[in-house]
Structure 1
Amino acid sequence: MRPLKLIVPALAATAAVTAALAAPQGGASASATERTLPAAQQTAGKTGTKPEPDAEDVVLAVHGGAGTALDRATTSPELAKAYRDGLSQALQAGQQVLDRGGNSTDAVQAAVERLEDNPLFNAGKGAVFNADAGHELDASIMRGTDLKAGAVAGVRNVRNPIQAARLVMDESKHVMLAGEGADDFAAAHGLKMVTQDYYFTQARWDALMKAKAAAAGDTSAAKSKETLADEQAKGTVGAVAVDRDKDLAAATSTGGLTNKLPGRVGDSPIIGAGTYAKNGTVAASATGAGEVFIRGAATSTISNLIEFGKMNVPEAAYQVIVKRLPQLGGTGGVIALGPDGTFDAPHSSPGMLYGYLTKDGTITTRIFPDESPANS
């Protein structure tokens, strides 16, 4: 029997989120030095024709969503550290897979699992609320060797949706399962299941209340509808990787949009929109205005521009994310990685949270606009 959805979340879960913000876990491992590059070096974000500075030989990258940028003036050092640690820990999880000779598909899954377990991000624990105060989560994964892919949409009880997506890829003849069928498939194969209160955080509940107030025309709401929509995009997570055999993989996971209609599905679980990987071209994971990324076939178009348009990875990613998709009415970003380690992370939104790992073990994280300016 499926667990009942909790309409009023358990307030006891708030303590776990508070602890995560006040005392973020860990730092970079001994083999990975976290660093931030000065704004003067951020030339790639402005031109879209060169790879991210000092980002050659990238083997793994992650993102934590695109949307309203973090503000240095108002973001506490503790919260900034929590975001950096979250990205770094995800990269370290994927690094452990690659360092022991594992493949890129296992690496992106490991990285995304770590982000799904972090309440700062809109995926797994910390997923946003629907209009009916429930949670529906989406995820997808794809490997570049044979274009095999798996996805789940609207799951309500899988602790780690990316595990369910991988299960669909490996243990079924399908690409996507949705709703109750996806949850049941995951449970039947032994994945850890949870009740809806597991996903709860006070910050996401407060965001739902603000969104409802704004939608009702409450002029006293702290955020405008436009700002709320922008913030809702931030938190979706993803990863891209290339292994020692030059095989590519990508994965994406999200809780969707705050106050979305029940049953709404965005780009994250859709192969070719939120996630795509093809050997010889690119591994890409997107974040932003889901409906626009679906209509623009964002990630597969990047691959096609590389394969048929003879563009390089930064050129193709910039063309799609900065030049084309905003014309369809939405903004966002993408992490894109080529088989040779060329990496870029263009975004048309004010900010995007991301980080990457190079072959020598160096980890770089970007959370503020002056570290990675918007590609306007």
Structure 2
Amino acid sequence: MRNVVLAVHGGAGSLPRGSISAEQERAYRDGLTRALRTGYALINEGRPSLDAVEAAVRVLEDDPNFNAGKGAVFNTDGEQELDASIMNGRDLRSGAVAGVHNTKNPISLARMVMERSRHVLMAGRGADIFALQNGVPYTTQDYFFTQRRWDALIAAKNPPAGGAEQTTGETVGAVAVDRNRDIAAATSTGGLTNKLVGRVGDSPIIGAGTYADNRTVAISCTGTGEVFIRGVAAHDISALMDYTGASVTRAAARVITEKIPALGATGGAIALDPRGVLATPHSTAGLINAYILRDGTVVTRIFDDETPAR
């Protein structure tokens, strides 16, 4: 895809056509569209891409259909632990939080870590305290509850005989390019259903789940986080472009559809270069994603047959 200003994703996995109701389909598409139009409006005002990706991800964090913020999945103790990261391609500044319990929008807290501290990554209780110190209201855990996620936890704790433990994707992310050709990326997630307390995946790890560099690409990943960390997936895409001159399409496909599966996992990514070329590779059956063009045209893709692997 070309002439893309902003793209978002709602997680890699499989969503066959006919597997959800028409109402659920509308809810997914409406949520993705709201996120795109929110970020696009900021870019049209001349605001930086960093503002756009934060705003787009906030919309998805507030949408219970996605596994981030409201509607995040439960860990083994029946709690939500939230992870997020954001990166500015212009100067490589970045911020991230992991294991957040009481902050409504972790992506905004990640940006606060970047702009109001000397750190890149803050975790757990310390991250929530940092939020309070910076004027972010305390959010009780019941805010994040949804019945669908609770049912998924119970199912994961009681799998059918011989069945595998269930997990849930639907991590969210955004990548954008602004009028100055500055790019940015952001990712937010609740992680895996029934994950061990304290587990951290790739979403808050700069270079694994999120990366942005004006010389190459802005990337947000989704999938089996442990393997994306081992493969340093997001940075690897950027490095291929930087060191070999590979296009965003080729570099992203090589990492996501070749390297990650070779390590024994699956996933996807949205990758946007400064010229507005978007790649959406995935080794899963599908990748929930959407993008908006410079002229304001919105495309949403949620079913497997709408999401080509490259």
TM-score of the two chains, using structure 2 as the length reference: 0.98
C-alpha contact 1:163 1:191 (8 A) present in aligned 2: no
C-alpha contact 2:266 2:282 (8 A) present in aligned 1: yes
- SS of the residue 2:246 aligns to: coil
Rg larger in structure: 1
TM-score of the two chains, using structure 1 as the length reference: 0.81
Counterpart AA for 2:11: G
| Structure 1 residue ranges without an equivalent (≥5) | 1-54
1:225 pairs with 147, 164, 176, which one? 164
1:374 positional shift: 4.2
C-alpha contact 2:280 2:309 (8 A) present in aligned 1: no
Q: Where does 1:90-105 land on structure 2 (aligned, <5 Å)?
A: 90-105=35-50
| Structure 2 residue ranges without an equivalent (≥5) | none
Counterpart AA for 1:144: G
User: Does residue 1:250 correspond to 2:196, yes or no?
Assistant: no
User: Does residue 1:140 correspond to 2:85, yes or no?
Assistant: yes
Distance 2:235 2:228 in 1: 10
- SS of the residue 1:370 aligns to: helix
- SS of the residue 1:102 aligns to: coil
Q: Deviations over 1:51-108 (max 9, x none)?
A: xxxx2110100000011x2222231111111100010000011011101100000000
Provide the residue aligned with 1:261 in structure 2: 196
Kindly tell me: are residues 252 and 187 of structure 1, through their superposed partners in 2, closer, same or farther at Cα, counting changes over 3 Å?
A: same
Instruction: Name segments (4+ residues, structure 1) moved above 4 Å.
Output: none
C-alpha contact 2:16 2:305 (8 A) present in aligned 1: no
2:274 pairs with 339, 345, 368, which one? 339
Q: Deviations over 1:206-229 (max 9, x none)?
A: 000000012xxx429xxx426x23
Distance 2:240 2:306 in 1: 27
Provide the residue aligned with 2:213 in structure 1: 278
Distance 2:156 2:19 in 1: 22
Q: Where does 1:38-117 land on structure 2 (aligned, <5 Å)?
A: 55-67=1-13, 69-117=14-62
Counterpart AA for 2:55: A
C-alpha contact 1:115 1:121 (8 A) present in aligned 2: yes
Provide the residue aligned with 2:244 in structure 1: 309
2:291 pairs with 356, 370, 374, which one? 356
Distance 1:142 1:323 in 2: 25
C-alpha contact 1:305 1:316 (8 A) present in aligned 2: yes
Provide the residue aligned with 2:125 in structure 1: 180
